[in-house]
A and B are shown apart, each in its own frame.
Chain A
Amino acid sequence: MSAQVTAKMYLKIWGWLAGLMLLGVLLSELPISKATVVLLVLGLSSVKAFLVVLYYMHLKFDRRLLALVLLAPVVLVLLAVGLLYSSTFVRL
């Protein structure tokens, strides 16, 4: 594991995480449509989460089974959030 990711790389990832976080804060202050801000900010959050999972949690270098274990709830989350989101269009 340590041969694949060096301390320098970890610090580089830190830079990306901090930078993307600050970018998200700045974007949320811009006078652009709410929908665009939501997409951009949550998109940035997803990128940050990916970086943490792939490099800090070493999923990029681990066995595929672990990726499948993580994929299962992601699929369920998309399904659940998609269903929940669609329910907001229903007014009983």
Chain B
Amino acid sequence: MSQAHAVAVPAHLAHPTATGIPNGKLGMWVFLASEVMFFTGLIGAYVVLRMGHPSWPGPEGHLSVPMGTINTLVLICSSTTIVLALAASQRGAMGAVRRWLLATVLLGSTFLVIKGFEYSVKFHHHIFPSTNVFWSCYFTLTGFHGLHVLGGIVFNLWVLGLTGRASVWASQSHRLELAGLYWHFVDIVWIFLFPLLYLL
């Protein structure tokens, strides 16, 4: 019997695919395409409702643009940190992978904390989803986005856990790219939500 080296082949490369794209990556892109439709439904409803109400309550004086701007910057930074984690993974710098991933998780959590603070201020002023159409839209859009951010944080934490053992990471490292794709999507959704809700 030949003494072959036991090289851990990443799961996504073990069997070549017909498209040349790893199954997980193609699957994630297809999932993100479906998520685009999901948010389109919600944002489309917001656009129609707003255009149908000439005296729209409007965010002027109601939503904090500075807070929304800071939150947008936080998510933009988190997109950068996760892509830097991916770059570190490709050059085998595991310490850097863990640091950048942790930074991504912390920034994502910061986003949720700021969002939670914004919600609590609204609730304190007796503003709820049932108050009027604008607030229904605001809480629905940002609520669903927030849930997606939370899911992304969990995904990132799981990938962070995979970096704990070299033997595990050898076959699971492709998960980082998938987590990154999802996280960038979450950022892109906010890139559109922020101006729609806070600026326009």
Which residues of A does B touch, CB under 8 Å? 1-2, 5-7, 10-11, 13-14, 17-18, 21-22, 24-25, 28, 34, 37-38, 41-42, 44-45, 48-49, 52-53, 56-57, 62-63, 65-66, 69-70, 72-74, 76-77, 80-81, 84-85, 87-88
Contacts and interface: CB of A to CB of B under 8 A. Distances in A.
Interface centre among A73, A74, A77 (most CB of B within 10 A): A73
B120 interface: no
12 contacts: A10-B83, A21-B69, A37-B200, A38-B200, A44-B195, A52-B188, A53-B188, A56-B180, A69-B26, A77-B36, A84-B47, A85-B47
A38 B200 CA distance: 6
Contacts of A6: 87
Interface string B51-72: 1100000000000010001001
Contacts of A13: 80
A17 B76 contact: yes
Interface in B1-60: 19-21, 25-26, 29-30, 32-34, 36-37, 40-41, 44, 47-48, 51-52
Contacts of A81: 40, 44, 47
Q: Which applies to chain A's interface (DSSP): helix, strand, loop or mixed?
A: helix
Contacts of B184: 52-53, 56-57
A7 B88 CA distance: 9
Given A24-B195, A66-B26, A80-B44, A74 B200 contact: no
A1 B90 contact: yes
Given A10-B83, A28-B199, A77-B40, A65 B188 contact: no
